[in-house]
Every structure is written in C-alpha cells, then in structure tokens.
Chains A and B, each alone.
Chain A
Amino acid sequence: MKIGLFIPCYINQYYPRVGMATYRLLRNLGFKVEYPMGQTCCGQPLGNSGYERYATQGIDHFNGTFRDYDIIVAPSGSCVHFVKEHPGFDSGSGWEIMELSEFLIEMTALEKLKISFRKKVGVLQSCHGLRGLKLGKSSELMQRGASTIVRILKQVKDVRLVQLKRPDECCGFGGTFSVREAELSVKMGEDRLYDFINSGAEVITGTDVSCLMHLEGLILKRKLHLEVKHFSEILMPV
C-alpha cells in the first residue's frame, strides 16, 4: 500500500509542524508514506468562492501528482471533502483519499503509540469533516456514534475531554466567508471560543487546521491562555 501525503497549502505555509507530526506519526505506525514534491493546492478556495471553473487545471495537476499512490492521506477534513465531492478528481487512477483520523481508525491500532496527554481537551468538530465526510454523527441526526477524532483521543492516556454546550456548531471560519462576512465570522468564532473556555478546556483540538487557525487568531488577539493543536500534534509531540 503506497501512501501519498497531501499537505494543504495553508498547513504547508503556516503550520509545517502539523505536516511534520502527520508524517512522523504515519511513519512511526509503520506506514510507507511519501510526500510528492510537485503538489500544490486542491483548489477548494477557488471552488468555495464560486470560481470552481478556474480550478480545473489545478485538479488535473493534483491527479497527476498522486497518480502512483493507492491512498492519499491529508490532515484536513475540508480539503479531503473537496477532493471527494468534486467530480474532476481521481479520473480513473484508482486512489482513495482519506482524512487522517479516518485513516487511523480504519487502518491501524493506536495502542502501540503509548501516548499520554495530561490536559483538558475540547474537540472542535469541523463541519466539512463531520457533516461532509461523516467522520461522526452530527447533532442534527438522530443517530449516535462518536466521531473518529473522539475515538482516537479516548485512546490517549490521561486526556480529559470536556463537554461543550454546543458540540458541533460551526466556528465561523468558512474560508473566504471569514473575510467576506468578517464581523459575523468573528462573532461565530467568539461564541465557539467561549464555549470552550466555559467548559474548562485547556487545549482546543480538531481535524481541520483552518478552523483552528481562526480560533487561534481570536485567542492571540485577545491574549487568552488556551492552546490550539491539530490532533496529530497530540499523538506525535514534536
């Protein structure tokens, strides 16, 4: 099984540590994983802004870059969702794309990592992962079942997961929405943030660094003491 690592644009630029944690985690778990150097961006920002038609060349490029892999793994639910939902991807080369937590739950036993994380942790359930990729049952659905990230965190020793008042409300990032409707986006983010603070969380974690970046931006601006980490950083402290 040949695994291609897809590191989305903003992680590459702003959060290389999440890419490193993901890469090391997969290697430590014994997977053969490569990062194809020619990769760019999946084109989601164009699509969500209404310019999907300009993303087609990029999508072809993506298909070419990952042509020789069986599985593509990415530490981002929303990018994986875009690739899965968009008909231009894949075009017959046969790979499958998975978000990191989904991959870990499907493919491996995490016990061997023997990690401990002695913190109170709040999970930000990112919408594209939760409702788009169905990495869990969103609260609107009358079905139950823990999300992949919660199942993973439950295997980490000493973690205490906090209960949020609104377990899966959107944080208000939404890509270009965060700029186009800035005030609304900030209000949505603040309300999420205070849910975490009021629930006693010391760390906010999640599957999507973009949403986490938005909350981290609010935290930094307000000089609050709350850590923000992608879950791979909990599993594989750098």
Chain B
Amino acid sequence: MTDHYESAKKFLKEPSKVDWHDETLWWVRKKRDRAAGEVDEWEELREAASNIKERALAELDSNLMEFEQKAIANGITVHWAASAEKHNEIISDLLRERNISRVVKSKSMLTEECGLNPYLENHGIEVVDTDLGERILQWKEHAPSHIVMPAIHLKKKEIGKIFAEKLKIPESDDPQLLTETARQHLRGYFLHSKAALTGVNFAVADTGAFVVCTNEGNADMGVHLADVHIASMGIEKLLPKTEDLAVFLRLLARSATGQPITAFTSHFKKPARGKEIHLILVDNGRSAILGKRGFWKVLKCIRCGACMNTCPVFRKAGGHSYHSTIPGPIGAILAPHYDSEKYGSLPFASSLCGSCTAVCPVKIDIDRQLYAWRQELTRGNGSQLLVSLIGKALQRNKLYDRLGVFLSMIQRRFPWIVNRVLKAYTQSRSLPDVPAESFKEWYKRNRDE
C-alpha cells in the first residue's frame, strides 16, 4: 500500500513545479468558470444531468437490454465483459482472428483500468496510442496523471527531450513544431492500421448508437481508415435517449477544458459497408458498486476531470500521488471499491472542502462519499481505544472539562511535550498560546454581567 501522504510529500519537494502544476490546472478551472458562466441555465443543466444519470442507473438493466437490441439491429457486434480480463481477452481474440498485430488506440480510461496495453503487448500485439498526451506517456512509460490531460505533469522541455530521443529530431520546446512532428509520425500508423480501438463517452439506448469525443480527431482518423472499430465502454455510460445528449454534450467539454464542445464529437451508429464495429460492454465491478447504498452515485461520472482541476490536493500533490487509474477526488471514492487496502489512504487525502461536489456537472456528492469511505476504512484498524475514550469523554462533561484543564496545563508547563506529540502540525505552524482561562471558566464568572 502506497500512502497518499508519502507521494504527496515527494511531489511537494519541487516547489516551483508544484506551483506551475497548481497554476496550470487553476487556469483550466477558470476557463471552465468562464465557459459555464456563458450558459444562463448552467445550474439547471447540472440538475438535469444529475437526474437523467440517476434514473438511467436505476434502470440500467432494461436500458442495456434495449441498447443491445438496437445496436445489433444496426449491425454493431455487441460483446459483454464481466471483468477486465474478459474485456482484454475479447479484444485480443478479435485481433488474432483477423491476423492483426498492430492497432491504433484513442484515449480511453477504461482500457487503462483494464490494463489493456500490457495485455496486448504480452500477446504480441503492438498498441499505438494516438492521443498526443498518451503517445508521450507511452514513450515515457508513465501512467496518465489526469484523465483529460494525461501528460499534464510534464513540462514542454521534458516533452521536447523525449521527442528528440524517440523521433530523432533536434531538441525543441516549441509546441507547434512538436505537434506537427507527432502528426507526421502518427499518420503512418493511421494509414496502415487494420483495427482502431476507442473508448466511448456516451451510448444511447433508444438508438443503439454511441458517441466518442476527442479534441485531436485521432479517434476518427483511426476508425475511418481501419476495417475494424473496437469500442470499449463501461456500462454506466449509457443514456436512455438521444435528447439526453443535448444536456451532456453541453456540460462535458465546458466542465473539462472550458470549451463549448469538443473539437470532434462523433456519433457511431452502424458500420460502413465492408467494415465492422465491435462494442464491448464492460462491468468490471460496476454492478457491485451500483448495489452499494451511499456509494452508487459515483457511477454518474462522465469523466470530465473538473473535480481534479478544482481540487487543491490534486493541484498541489499531482495526479500520480493517487496511484490509481482515475486520480483526484472522483478517483478517491472510486478506487477503494476495487482495493480498499491499496487505495485506503485516498479518502483521507482531502480537506473535505467540497469544491469537487460543487464543480461536478452531474452533481456527484463526492465530499459526502469521501466522508462515508472514511467510516468504512477505519473498521479494520487495530486498537480503537483512544477514539473510544474520546467518544466517552464527549458524554461526560465533568471528565471532559477536567481533561481540558489538564491539557491546557500540560501545554503551558511542558510545551515540548505538545510540540513532540503534534510535531506534524507544530513543525511549520505554531499552536496558539493557552489563554488564562477557558470560555467556560470565563462564563461562570461573567454570565450575569
């Protein structure tokens, strides 16, 4: 188990980078504020989105059946994967049956969650990530640190270095030059790839269609040039009706990056002549979460990343400090469902400021779930003697008052003891001086003043 605290501390050792990371993401948050502010009915949109998602999740079983039926009728091949392994196996089998040994892939957090890349590489299939940020990470062998801006932890200079090394160009930190180089480099892969993998942002039950959003057009480039399109989708992405998209597409890009809409918003309904579309519906723990009272609303998430940009912990500790596929506030309430020991420190990596909940376009009660997780995660802790004593003292006011007097005396006479016990606090912050008397003592004398 890697404690969030340890990784945060490490990230904080480079103050200039922390400030840069913080300012960069705060800039995105402000961009989001401007974009949201231009929509008069923003708060109504959030409310509508929240309601649609909650209803859709409540009726997920029947929505999925309807979606499957419509998608099949459209000519899409639908696969069901109960687990990450099954998902990877389906893709690997589809590719091997068609003798395909290299694929292009656009951004998909689900394939990250399933560990698809390493799985395919182990089965002799090369994966080329075509999202620029993800391509850089593939070279760097880094995990994404943010779900929308996966390489946000890297500065231009570091990216220039990796380009120089991998593509044999002179080192540069000119974004335009680097992007153009990447375009030329990726074009060859697009042209020669027989299969393209994508994620899914939304699927619609009443039409059997699905939507993929990108800003780089890389999903479209891959899909339109390949014979086989394999799309991976978490079952919670399903919306009941096409008109629901009118709510979500207005919220998604504004919340994510402050754009009115993603540069490419592509609707896929049926395969072009002679081509195939395979859609994999992935559960991988989702239906179990759906059954957990107090926690199921985490499934409303549309993966916009707004909670990361607004979160001071994320901005100042970095996305990698979470060690989970989905980092940030939403990751902190999602990851423990998969491994409560490994990710047990994440719900505590928050001041419970609630900015995430207020920024969330689908109104997930993130801060409340962080709190609820804390109650769950402390159950296995060893001795709970101290907390149980504190609990008892709250009930006995005489004992409580005496304890207060005692602790004040300790701090007054032996400040070093307090400084030692509370070292984590007092190292960089002074405790207030102990006053001559507590409020209660003062009140006793002055109540009738």
Which positions in A face B, CB cutoff 8 Å? Answer: 7, 9, 11-17, 19-20, 23, 34-35, 37-41, 43, 45-58, 60-61, 65, 127-128, 131-132, 138-143, 166, 169-170, 172-189, 191, 213-214, 216-218, 220-221
Contact = CB atoms under 8 A, between A and B. Distances in A.
B388 interface: yes
Nearest to B432: A14
A51 B386 CA distance: 11
Contact of A142 (B42, B353, B424, B438): B42
Given A41-B400, A191-B22, A217 B447 contact: no
A40 B393 contact: yes
B429 interface: yes
B353 A170 contact: yes
Nearest to A213: B432
Interface in B402-449: 404, 407-408, 422, 424-432, 434-435, 437-444, 446-447
Interface stretch (B94-102, B128-136, B312-320): B312-320
Interface in B130-148: none
Closest CB pairs A-B (n = 9): A58-B394, A174-B351, A217-B429, A54-B391, A50-B374, A19-B439, A50-B378, A170-B353, A140-B358
Interface in B322-358: 348-355, 357-358
A54 B388 contact: yes
A179 B424 contact: yes
A100 to B, nearest CB: 14
Contacts of A140: 33, 310, 355, 358-359
Contacts of B312: 169-170, 172, 188, 191
29 contacts: A7-B440, A13-B408, A13-B434, A15-B432, A15-B435, A16-B437, A23-B443, A37-B443, A39-B397, A40-B400, A41-B394, A47-B375, A49-B374, A51-B387, A57-B391, A140-B359, A142-B36, A142-B37, A166-B26, A170-B353, A172-B312, A177-B351, A183-B12, A184-B8, A184-B316, A187-B12, A187-B18, A191-B316, A217-B426
Nearest to B374: A50
B429 A19 contact: no
A48 B387 CA distance: 12
A57 B394 contact: yes
B355 A170 contact: yes
B375 A50 contact: yes
B5 interface: yes
A142 B8 contact: no
Contacts of B371: 47-48
A183 B8 contact: yes
A165 B360 CA distance: 22
A185 to B, nearest CB: 7
Given A13-B408, A41-B400, A48 B438 contact: no
Contacts of B4: 181
A182 B424 contact: yes
B394 A61 contact: yes
Contacts of A170: 312, 351, 353, 355
A195 to B, nearest CB: 12
Contacts of A183: 8-9, 12
Given A40-B397, A213-B432, A217-B431, A172 B354 contact: no
B439 A189 contact: no
B184 interface: no
A191 B15 CA distance: 11
A64 B334 CA distance: 38
Given A141-B43, A217-B432, A179 B425 contact: yes
Contacts of B355: 127, 131, 138, 140, 169-170
A19 B43 contact: no
B52 to A, nearest CB: 19
B422 A179 contact: yes
A58 B395 contact: yes
Contacts of B354: 127-128, 131-132
Contacts of A45: 390
Nearest to B351: A174
B325 to A, nearest CB: 22
B439 A20 contact: yes
